[in-house]
Structure 1
Amino acid sequence: MEVKKQDYRRYECNESGFITQYLVSGLKETPFADSTADENQLRYEKYLRSIVTEKQDRRPLGEIRLGESGRLGLPWRYYYNYGNWFVDLSTFYSVLTRVELDACTILTAPRDMVVKAAVWSYASLDIWCGNDKVCVMEPAVYKPIRRQEISLPLKNGENLLYIRLQTLGVRDTRTLFGIQILDGAEQIIQTLPDAKNTVLVMEQADWMSSIRLENHSLHFNGPALEGTTLGYDSMSPDFSQAGTKIERFSVAGAKDVILERNRPYVLVECQINGQRLMRRMEVIGEIRPKSLAGLGFEKNKREIFRRTAAVESLSRGGKFGFSISNILARKALGIEDERDRRLLFETLDQIESRYDCSDFLVCGLIRYVKNYNMDEALSRRVKSVLLHYRYWMDQVGPDAMCFWSENHSLMFYVSAMNAGELYPDEYFTRAHMTGRELYETGKRRLEQWLADVELHGFEEFLSTVYMCVTFAGLLNAVDYTTEEIKVRAARVTDRLLTMLSQHTYKGSVIAPMGRVYRQVIYPFLQGAQALMNLVNPKMPYSYGEGWLAFYATSGYQIPEGLDVLMEGEINTEYATGNALVRLEKNQNYCMTSVQSPRQDKGFVRWENLTLLEEVQKVDKGSHEYTKSLNERFHGTTCFEPGVYGYQQHLWSAALDSETEVFTNHPGGTCDSSEMRPGYWYGNGVMPAISQGDGVLLAVYVIPREHPIHFTHVFWPGVKFDRMEAEESWLFGQKGSGYTALWCSGALKPHDDQLFGCEYRCFEDEMAYCCICGGREEFETLEIFMEYAKSLNPVFEKKTRTVQAAGRALTYDAREDRTQYI
């Protein structure tokens, strides 16, 4: 009998029991505001999440048809996101927004049955099975992800599952949910409403998922449909090119496509039944460091400014641009661009609207005001905007600004001081202060910020993203404050550059980090490379979001000897924040990590004031309180096994500037995830880690309360001169260096946006052992392989202890109250 397509496109749950086939309607995004005031922005946002949910008891009615509008007034579409176990439409909101999403699927049961399921989300959810309401999850939370068990009363045959999601859009917003069948998943078949139209889309999604990248070619499982395109993404940071940075070519009818050289960022797109499907891939072997040879310091500095000046404005997720750094670079080079006046007024509008990160713009604007003449209209507009800005969370006005991170707090403090000095006798309406009062408030907090870093070190330590922002904020403190603060700020800036220089290995920053993003897999592309290239022109450069434009008009002097630190051998450990960092760097390898937990004697963790404020009075106007809020939101630097993670990168082993390996427990199941923690950056749950003498041990235990029960290895095979894989071992050689990675469980290759770069271990409890060595000790890779195996790593699950090379590490789960919001 001929099988009909609508009967053919049926799906089982994935290997972990998750439902993966959905139609969605949304996101519906509407402005959201509330007049409630709170000096604690985190508590304020928690309150907003509690009131954003609108209750609904009855399942939304109406026919569900592909391409036609649903309850939200937005069309139903097929959800496709390669490798995702969740419906995940997470994104970033610069202003407060109410976010809504509807989704549905059909579960076909072989008989009347009740199955148990787990619902995972950060958002507020209502779920109906047929007409029965089976789940209410509220209110929305920021972190960690919540798990709620439900029962699904399935009838024999088809059962509609309808999901209604609501949440508060504020900065990085986790707009996602997942449904995991806990028993009987193998009996459940997934289909979709409107089968006649959705079947072709599902078929094309399967085709998209089958694409392979091998030998610089894409291979398709059958000819590409008419309208299918191959795109090359320039990855331009310029917002003015956001609509044109992808060049597309038809590949209709092709089964194989040879990719163009030196265009490594590719995407395949197709249109089917009014639906757009897209999958991204990267040719990792062609993503290489960029350097300019033979330039002295001054000429290289001008090249940095030219690269920044060439960008009209920095794209913020393709939604709008921030242009102040680019304007500063053009002014420094004497480039008079007629667009810049328009961009300046656009910048002032963004500051006035209090976009998140508008403090970045204020810092740049202050530098512009301090260095360049303004006509009367611009001067009047600048004054109005700065007088009505909100310089701290205890001042008037609802918005989505982040005040508390290490870089944000610095910029708010120094900007309050600078703005108050500009207009000492004027009244700042949101602060309810005169300029002199605002200056003194900013000065006091800036001095506390400096004192904290002087005593404890950086919380966003070695962050190859945020150290650039902190560098720019410190330059404003160096250039536009009191003599005492200038000296202290310069010393802290020296410390920042010294730490990054220590961790620079054969050109790239290789480091554990307080906060990081996906470019951790490309160390030479990280923002801090711009700083290292400024210090030492021999280092590879990156764009660095244009922050070095601040340096064009700064009096800060870069300390001598940093190039020696970059190129020399180091074996050391040091504390920063609550973290203990270990670094082994020699001509063969660089191995570095944070210890989890710290076991050095005398360590005393600084106290989080937000855990005390309910029972005793605390100084909410102090930086110590701000720092406590930051630990709650952006993750702790007190690394301990079992604690929920955020964007912390815990360890790396590198053989050169681009051949780096590490493991992590991902916060998302696919490379395109917008989660924090993400796929390659951060950890859903932190492991135990210990390092010494070229050997690193790590133990991961994934609790029932987390949905993702695998860890994975970043292993860029194409970057090695040689590599070998044997059962639970991976071995690699690059130049004179060797590395080996052992896992207590089975390592399964996996491809997503990258091919030949990932191995997964699907277990709840697992251990890793990384070993590094050099050619002067091991003449060949084979000799090193035998040595690594002779260290005999063993993992005892009963005690959660891994042993190797005479070292042992035991996983002792901890809980950290600071990591719940």
Structure 2
Amino acid sequence: MKKVVLGIIVFFVLFLASVGIQFAINMQIKPIPMRPLESFNAGGSDRLIYYFDKHLKNEDLPEGIELTDDFINEELEGTFRYINGRYDVADFRVNSLVRLYLGFKDHLHPDTQEDIKTVLLNFKYWMDQGGEDSMCYWSENHQILFAVEEYLVGQAFPDDIFTVDGKTGLEHMEMAKNRINIWMEQRFLYGFTEWYSNNYYPEDISPMSNFIQYANDPVMVNRMKMIMDLLWFDMASQSFKYEGIDSTSEQPRTYYIFNSSMGRAYSDNRVSDDTGNRMRNYIDFVMQPEETKGFENSWFTSSNGFFNCFKQMMEALDEHDEPYYRVPDVIKEIFNDSSEEKVIKSSQSLNVEELEGEGLLGLEDHQIMMQWNMEAFSNPEVVDNTIKYMSKHNMFRNEFLNDFKMVNLWPLRAFNLLHMVSNQLNPSTNGVAIERANVYTYKTPHYSMHTAQAYQPGEYADQHAVSSINLSNTVSVFSTQPAKIPRRSGTPTYWTGNGRQPYSVQEKNVNISIYQPPTKVGFMEPMILKETTHVFFPYQLFDEVDETYLNQGYIFGRVGTSMIGIKARHTLEFVPFSVSSNPDDMDDMLKRGSVGNVLTEKYDLVQKGSGDHYFVTELSTTDDESFSAFMSRMMSQTLTYDQTTHTLSYSTILNNESTLTELIAIFDTSFSVNGHIRNLEYQRYESNYVNDGIINRKPDEIEFLFNGKSLFLDYSNHIRTVGD
């Protein structure tokens, strides 16, 4: 008996020692820096494709620019250095470098051509190709960037050797072909994981453009055109057509405001179309090129590499003197839909719980690509795959993934316990996953409102933009539950994403968002802001604001003919600008893009208080009622909240209706309209723009029909028919 007890003791001592030793070894794994230690300009390849394009069209180059061999080599020096360093977003630079080589090779010195070839053959194009680095390969946009680059480089140099693994260009082309086909099929079946992102769609459209113009596989090219169609339909259906004034020329112009609910967005993307819509030049170029050509910062003067890959593809002609791609007329008609009100519903991507049923759990390319383009790493359903894949391909030194070394312990892997650990600890990283979005969009000639209905309420969050309201090209409004003070790095932040997702629901021009602010820090969560939610409400950009009733939780504003009213559960108060702009604790709203140049007064409208928080937001127009009448009407409406059941009831007259509608939202439970519970899980498309008003999820075929124009897409049979 003593021997048995002693044996058990020895076993546990050895077990604990082995785990401790492995943990200690793991903690010595230091991440590879994702950025260079010193800053340098890596954007030369972006600028060069812009310069060469203008030069060959006999258009004026920017002052002081001459395309000499020395100048070209100087421009490429930083690009080569960044790519060779395999820093994060090096694939952005490779994307334009590939176009420079394929599109302008004959105008480059032979030595420069050889230098570009060497850089491209020395690059690493996927996670399984050996070598350690901190590039992000896995998000939706990076997947197609790396794959298209690898395919086109392999096509250009089929017999040359890629130094990363000793395989030929032809072999790499075949590997990339597999991933491109996976990516395209998953977008057709499930939609875009980074749904409606005005920040990340440019990073999809650019490699897609390169592929459409330069790939030699007609079936794949035709399918890529279908995915391009779907991306443009996303933008058309979600864009709010607004007649405004150009801020620099003071001339009238049309804005197509693409600022919807988004799978991934940063603070500047959400503030307004002016400051954050990275797709503006693309839409202007397609929809109103001549009207916008002369505006400051227009598409015509943009040296952005992503945009110029698209523009040059659109302007190029194939061997039949036909454009490589045209945005179908039906999509242009949808952009210009003049209906008084538009209700558009859609479903994008998958929930993590759906992956297994779709055969998308595992380590094969099609499985890991779906899991990781959703940024699903630590969730119980996928965490075992994450650790296995990272171990197989030696990825623990990747700075994005380095923290996973802490759970890379042999007992957890050997006995498949990682999912149990994730379930029990519920780390904040689980909220990074971008899951299925059921987006409700309501547009009128005066405003647009967008909501990912009941999106993961109460869960940790990251860069998700659950709801968005647009009143003009300069004024958008949204609320968040701030995650942490701004000086902490990484997302979510004070304005980007949420600390905890709200229960956010919408019916026509009314949004109800119920928050449950955290009271304690979660596992792996750096910090929280207790009892706090807030609204981005740029006071100075409104034509009229009434803040008389902030102590009752009301704020009202008007921009032109568009009006907004917000009711909060607790008192509202603006944070003084001096606090927001404190150099030692400046919030991220002022750090990204041009937002800091726009905001010079109060904009951070904060709600503090115990228990649940809510914001009820209603939109209206001066075409229907005066500003004072709107205020009086909203403040007189019946609104009740039950903290025990987390139930909000609000009665109002919805846009274009004449009688009261009662809206009841119960946190994480249901949303009802006049007693009828709404189904908040939509099919792929539900709108007047699709055949019979509905396209089911995971479709075999998609057909868009509007104003006598049509587009039919059959992916499996690679049939794309553009009709009048």
TM-score, length of structure 1 as denominator length = 0.55
Residue of structure 1 equivalent to 2:306: 547
**Secondary structure, counterpart of 2:376 in structure 1:** helix
Cα distance in 2 for partners of 1:359, 1:658 equals 32
Among residues 481, 496, 511, which one is paired with 2:260 in the alignment?
511
- The Cα of 1:430 is off from its aligned counterpart by 1.8
Q: Is the 8 A contact 2:193 2:263 kept in 1?
A: yes
Q: 1:791 to 1:563 in 2, by over 3 A?
A: farther
Measured in 2, the distance between the counterparts of 1:316 and 1:522 equals 33
1:514 Cα deviation from its structure 2 partner: 1.1
Kindly indicate whether the alpha-carbon contact (under 8 Å) linking 2:642 and 2:648 is maintained by their aligned counterparts in 1.
Answer: yes
* Partner residue in 2 for 1:643: 459
2:666 to 788, 791, 810: 810
Structure 1 384/652 Cα, relative in aligned 2: closer, same or farther at 3 Å? same
How far apart are the structure 1 equivalents of 2:25 and 2:571?
41
* CA drift at 1:455: 0.9
Look up the match of 1:330: 51
Q: Does 1:557 align with 2:326?
A: yes
Deviation by residue 1:157-195 (Cα, 9 ceiling, x = unmatched): xxxxxxxxxxxxx47xxxxxxxxxxxxxxxxxxxxxxxx
Give the CA deviation at 1:449: 0.5
Task: Work out the CA distance in 1 between the residues paired with 2:364 and 2:490.
Answer: 30
Indicate whether 1:729 and 2:585 are aligned. Answer: no
Q: Check the 8 A contact 1:744/1:794 in 2, yes or no.
A: no
| Paired residues, number | 485
CA distance 1:734–1:552, shift in 2 (3 Å) = closer
Match of 1:700 among 492, 509, 515: 515
Distance 2:346 2:100 in 1: 37
Give the match's secondary structure for 1:731: strand
Within the candidate set 155, 169, 189, 1:435 is matched to 169
Distance in 2 separating the partners of 1:333 and 1:612 = 45
Q: 2:635 aligns with which of 761, 764, 789?
A: 789
| CA contact 1:766–1:795 (8 Å) conserved in 2 | no
Q: 337, 355, 380: which is aligned to 1:607?
A: 355
Distance 1:802 1:50 in 2: 49
Alignment counterpart, residue 272 of structure 2, candidates 512, 522, 531: 522
- Which residue of the other structure, out of 732, 750, 753, is the alignment partner of 2:575? 750
**In 2 relative to 1, CA 782–774 (structure 1 residues): closer, same or farther, beyond 3 Å?**
same
Cα distance in 2 for residues equivalent to 1:47 and 1:333? 57
Q: Distance in 2 between matches of 1:699 and 1:781?
A: 26
1:714·1:759 contact (CA, 8 Å) conserved in 2?
yes
In structure 2, the CA distance between the partners of 1:410 and 1:610, relative to structure 1 (3 Å rule), is: same
Structure 2 residue 504 is matched with structure 1 residue 689: yes
Contact 2:46/2:303 (CA < 8 Å) preserved in 1?
no
User: In 2 relative to 1, CA 683–428 (structure 1 residues): closer, same or farther, beyond 3 Å?
Assistant: same
CA displacement, residues 458-503 of structure 1 (integer Å, 9 cap, x when unaligned) = 1112211111111101101211221111112122112212222333
Moved more, 627-636 or 403-412: 627-636
Q: Take 1:442 and 1:574, find their aligned partners in 2: how far apart are those partners?
A: 34
Alignment-mate amino acid for residue 446 of structure 1:
I
Find the counterpart in structure 2 of residue 138 from structure 1: none
Q: Distance in 2 between matches of 1:546 and 1:403?
A: 19
Taking a change above 3 Å as real, the CA distance of residues 655 and 399 of structure 1, as seen in their structure-2 partners, is same
Q: Could you say which residue in structure 2 is the equivalent of 1:628?
A: 372
Does the CA contact (< 8 Å) of 1:325 and 1:550 recur in 2?
no
CA distance in 1, matches of 2:90, 2:149: 11
Please point out which of 518, 536, 540 is paired with 1:718: 540
1:500 paired with 2:272, answer no
Structure 1: any 5+ residue segments left out of the alignment? 1-45, 55-94, 98-169, 172-314, 580-602, 815-821
Report the CA distance between 1:389 and its aligned residue.
1.5
Question: Does the 8 Å CA contact 1:723/1:733 hold for their aligned counterparts?
Answer: yes
Give runs of aligned pairs for residues 207-606 of structure 1, distance below 5 A: 320-334=41-55, 335=61, 336-338=66-68, 339-372=71-104, 373=106, 374-481=108-215, 482-505=217-240, 506=242, 507=255, 508-519=257-268, 520-526=270-276, 527-537=278-288, 538=291, 545-554=304-313, 555-560=324-329, 562-567=331-336, 568-569=338-339, 571-578=342-349, 606=354
Higher relative CO (Cα under 8 Å, sequence separation at least 6) belongs to: 2
Residues 424, 434 of structure 1: 8 Å contact kept: yes
Letter in 1 for 2:150: A
Report what 1:280 is aligned to: none
Structure 2, unpaired ranges of 5+:
1-21, 56-60, 243-254, 314-323, 378-431, 437-454, 523-527, 582-598, 652-661, 671-724
Letter in 1 for 2:536: F
On the 8 A contact 2:271/2:475 being kept in 1, the answer is no
Instruction: Give the counterpart letter for 1:522 in structure 2.
Output: S
Report what 1:798 is aligned to: 644
> Matches of residues 171-210 of structure 1 in structure 2 within 5 Å?
none
SS at match of 1:632: coil
Q: C-alpha separation between the residues in 2 aligned to 1:677 and 1:611?
A: 30
Alpha-carbon offset, residue 450 of structure 1: 0.5
CA distance in 2, matches of 1:492, 1:679: 34
Letter paired with 1:777: D
Distance 1:775 1:799, change over 3 A: same
Q: 1:609 to 1:409 in 2, by over 3 A?
A: farther
Contact 2:506 2:512 in 1 (8 A): yes
Tell me, yes or no, if the aligned pair for 1:698 and 1:767 is still in contact at 8 Å. Answer: yes
Q: Give the TM-score, by structure 2 length.
A: 0.62
**Does the 8 Å contact 1:396/1:431 carry over to 2?**
yes
- Secondary structure of 1:495's counterpart equals helix
Match of 1:686, SS state, is: coil
Q: Deviations over 1:668-712 (max 9, x none)?
A: 324x66531222221121111110121111111123235112111
Q: CA deviation at 1:734?
A: 1.9
Identity of aligned residues (%): 22
- Report the 3-state secondary structure (helix = DSSP H, G, I; strand = E; otherwise coil) of the residue aligned with 1:461: coil
Q: Distance in 1 between matches of 2:120 and 2:138?
A: 20
1:610 deviation in Å? 13
CA deviation string 1:573-605 (max 9, x = no partner): 3334348xxxxxxxxxxxxxxxxxxxxxxx996
CA distance in 2, matches of 1:498, 1:736: 28
SS of the aligned residue for 1:493 comes to: helix
SS in 2 for 1:661: strand
- For each residue in 1:127-175, what CA deviation from the matched residue of structure 2 results, as whole angstroms up to 9, or x when unmatched? xxxxxxxxxxxxxxxxxxxxxxxxxxxxxxxxxxxxxxxxxxx47xxxx
Of 41, 48, 51 in structure 1, the residue corresponding to residue 27 of structure 2 is 51
How far is 1:457 from its partner?
0.8
- Structure 2 CA distance for partners of 1:503 and 1:625, relative to 1, 3 Å: closer
Q: How big is the shift at 1:811?
A: 1.7
Query: What's the CA shift string for 1:703-747, capped at 9, x where partnerless?
Result: 323511211111112222211121211111222222111101111
Name the aligned partner's letter for residue 362 of structure 1.
Answer: V
Describe the shift of the 1:802–1:622 C-alpha distance in structure 2 as closer, same or farther (beyond 3 A): same
Cα deviation code 1:183-216 (max 9, x no counterpart) = xxxxxxxxxxxxxxxxxxxxxxxxxxxxxxxxxx
Shift of 1:420: 1.3
2:533 & 2:54 partners in 1: Cα distance?
A: 48
Relative to structure 1, the CA distance from residue 531 to residue 48 in structure 2 (aligned partners, 3 Å threshold; closer, same or farther) is farther
